[in-house]
Structure 1
Amino acid sequence: MTKEVIIEKIDNFLIDEFEVESDDISPDADLKETLDLDSLDFVDLVVSVEANFGVKLVGEDFVNVKVLQDFYDLIERKLN
């Protein structure tokens, strides 16, 4: 799966499942603040990643994830 496809899939489920405005989605968007994701949303995010990409995430995976680009990179690493 290419990086572009990963980014597109993530952006789409953020818009569809988390009701994030497409204008708010950018690589430097802070996951917690800009995207307004709370702790319950992160649980849903883990479930969405599993459903969309077939990879499991754990809390430690998010230690260095601050902005959306970090999240894209995390999913790409998990897939490779």
Structure 2
Amino acid sequence: MSDEQILERLKAILFDAFEISPERVVPQAKLFDELDLDSIDAVDLAIKLQEMTGKRIKPEDFKTVRSVDDVVSTVKQLMAA
């Protein structure tokens, strides 16, 4: 799956789960500052990403995720493993 495909899936997840408009979901957008996610939302997002990839995300791996681009990179790493 390419970065662009992951980003498109992520846009859909963020819209469906948190009602964040897809236009706001750009690679440099900060999850907490710009997209208004909180720590509980981050857990929900991690669960959605696990469903998408079929692989478990370790909490320590997700703690460093701050931007949309970080999420894309994390998903890519999971899918490559």
Q: Same fold (TM over 0.5)?
A: yes
CA RMSD after TM alignment: 1.3
Query: How many Å apart are 1:23 and its aligned residue?
Result: 2.2
What secondary structure does 1:27 align onto? coil
4+ runs deviating over 3 angstroms: none
Structure 2 gap segments, 5+ residues each: none
Match of residue 68 from structure 1: 68
Structure 1 segments unaligned to the other structure (5+ residues): none
Number of residues of Structure 1 aligned to a counterpart in Structure 2: 80
Aligned counterpart, 1:54: 54
Structure 2 equivalent of residue 37 of structure 1: 37
Q: Secondary structure at the match of 1:57?
A: coil
Deviation at 1:16, TM superposition (A): 1.2
TM-superposition CA deviations, 1:37-65 (whole Å, max 9, x none):
11111111111111122121122112332
Return the alpha-carbon distance in structure 2 between the equivalents of residues 48 and 26 of structure 1.
18
